[in-house]
Amino acid sequence: MRTVGVEEELLLVDIRDGRAQSVQGQLVLRSALGGSGMAAEGLGGAVEGEFQQEQLETHTAPVHSLSELEDQVRHWRSEAAEAARGADCRIAALATSPLPTGPTPAAGERYAWIRERYQLIARRQLTCGLHVHVAVDSDEEGVGVLDRIRGWLPVILALSTNSPFAEGEDTGFQSWRTQMMRGWPSSGPTSLFGSADAYHRLVNDMIASSVLLDEGMVYFDARLSHHYPTVEVRAADVCSRVEDTVLIAALSRAMVETAAAEWAAGAPASEVPTTLIGLATFQASRHGMTGELLDPVTMRPRPAWEVMDSLLGWLRPALEAADDLSRVQSALDVIRAEGTGAGLQRVTLERTGQLVDVVAQAVRKTAEQE
């Protein structure tokens, strides 16, 4: 069974007024000094800094079972929450800040280069994503996977949508983070590569253009990790519920397994135009699971849950082989009944009329206090 691990970007917020707080440095230092025992026991993972001082990142070690993954996600959220309380703030798994904020950049030459190069794009960028790493045997297999999952990534986004509000406004989207990420010139869906050589040539050319600083700035919706022997699925918003995080990880692993088997068998990748996948991404960002998505096969509108059922049908053998199907179906049932994270945020605002309550609810969900 392929290993899977996740990275979660989290907001740091003042629980009293719901606004993002620039205390990342304090938290990372506190976590490093305090420790938790999990790393010492060999389970791995960490709490680390991110681009803006109002956010941080947790990541798990690669694991085989979803139960192991859930335990690690819960642990590192708890570790981050403890550190945040010591700095008089809280963590919230929100993909954008519902309330207005002026992000404060983290220190360092790399981040300074990014700020100078991208100007307002960088100054306004305060978004939190969920990145899933799934093991692959080689770059060739990994590129074979990328070519075969590209059309399905908007469905993963739709399930994860968790950013309807930003800067004090209702954006009208379920995932405003996706629209913010489109400001980076290297973001979004990819064309067919065909080979690892073609993938690496493109990445090298992107860096040689001087528009990007390094390989870490290749913000494709899915890419080969430049640190690990994995495919990194980057399309999702960070999820408020741990169960949703595990669901996205399970579906991502099943996609990699299914696509790798098709690549090994010589099955051709769909040649759907990248522009149409971009439109499917917009549709998922706009409506999430509440309306229609573009069917990855026909690229025509279809009810979101019918498209989800098609994805589940494609992945069923891999999910059954990993003994993940029942867990995935249960998590999907919760989203059908309660909505995605974006839906939870909208329900809270409708009930109270206050965005600070949206943040408070997200804090409780993130720390599982309700």
pLDDT at 35 over 50: no
Q: Which residue pairs, CB below 8 angstroms and at least 24 apart, start in 167-174?
A: 167/97, 167/99, 167/100, 167/101, 168/98, 168/99, 168/100, 168/355, 170/349, 172/286, 173/285, 173/286, 174/284, 174/285, 174/286, 174/287, 174/288, 174/289, 174/290, 174/340, 174/342, 174/343
Written as six digits, the tokens of 194 are 């065909």
Res 279: pLDDT: 98
- Average pLDDT for residues 217-238, to the nearest whole number? 96
User: What does the angle CA 95 – CA 235 – CA 76 come to, to the nearest 5 degrees?
Assistant: 55
Residue 277, domain CATH = 3.30.590.20
Higher pLDDT, residue 26 or 268: 268
pLDDT at 350 over 90: yes
Distance CA 137, CA 77 (A): 30
Task: Find all residues with CB under 8 Å of 103, minimum gap 6, and list them.
Answer: 20, 22, 52, 53, 54, 123, 124, 125, 126
- Average pLDDT for residues 87-102, to the nearest whole number? 92
Give the least confident one: 13-17, 250-254, 301-305: 13-17
pLDDT at 55 over 60: yes
Specify the number of domains making up the chain.
Answer: 1
pLDDT at 139 over 50: yes
Mean pLDDT, rounded, of the chain: 92
Q: What are phi and psi of 136, to 5 degrees?
A: -130, 160
Residue 42's pLDDT band (cuts 50, 70, 90) = very low
Distance CA 25, CA 290 (A): 38
Of 280, 315, 325, 337, nearest in space to 158 by CA: 280
pLDDT at 138 over 60: yes
Res 29: pLDDT: 56
pLDDT at 222 over 50: yes
pLDDT at 368 over 70: yes
Instruction: Give residue-wise pLDDT tens across range 156-171.
Output: 999 999 999 999 999 9
Is the overall model pTM greater than 0.85, yes or no? yes
For residues 209 and 179, the answer to whether their CB atoms sit within 8 Å is: no
Instruction: Give residue-wise pLDDT tens across range 97-122.
Output: 999 988 787 778 888 898 899 999 98
Res 87: pLDDT: 83
- CA distances (Å), origin 63, targets 57, 147, 180, 239: 18, 25, 31, 19
Written as six digits, the tokens of 313 are 């049908």
Res 180: pLDDT: 95
For residues 215 and 117, the answer to whether their CB atoms sit within 8 Å is: no
Q: What are phi and psi of 12, to 5 degrees?
A: -105, 120
Of 192, 91, 204, 208, nearest in space to 151 by CA: 192
- CA distances (Å), origin 259, targets 252, 311, 323: 10, 12, 18
Which DSSP string do the residues of 91-143 spell out, in sequence order?
EE--SB-SS-----BPPSHHHHHHHHHHTHHHHH--B-EEEEEEE-S-HHHHH
Question: Based on the number of CB atoms within 10 Å of its own CB, is 54 exposed (0-12), middle (13-18) or buried (19 or more)?
Answer: buried
User: What whole-number percentage of the chain has pLDDT above 70?
Assistant: 94
User: What whole-number percentage of the chain has pLDDT above 90?
Assistant: 79
Residue 370's pLDDT band (cuts 50, 70, 90) = very low
Strand bridging mode 46-49 / 55-59: antiparallel
Res 53: pLDDT: 76
Distance CA 89, CA 83 (A): 9
Written as six digits, the tokens of 280 are 């499917």
For residues 129 and 234, the answer to whether their CB atoms sit within 8 Å is: yes
Written as six digits, the tokens of 42 are 């060999």
Residue 37's pLDDT band (cuts 50, 70, 90) = very low
Q: Which residues pair with 92 in a beta bridge?
A: 11
Give the least confident one: 39-43, 124-128, 210-214: 39-43
Res 171: pLDDT: 98
For residues 12 and 97, the answer to whether their CB atoms sit within 8 Å is: no
Other CB atoms within 10 A of residue 188 CB: 18
pLDDT at 197 over 80: yes
Question: Which residue shows structure tokens 């978004």?
Answer: 127
Range of the domain at 260: 4-367
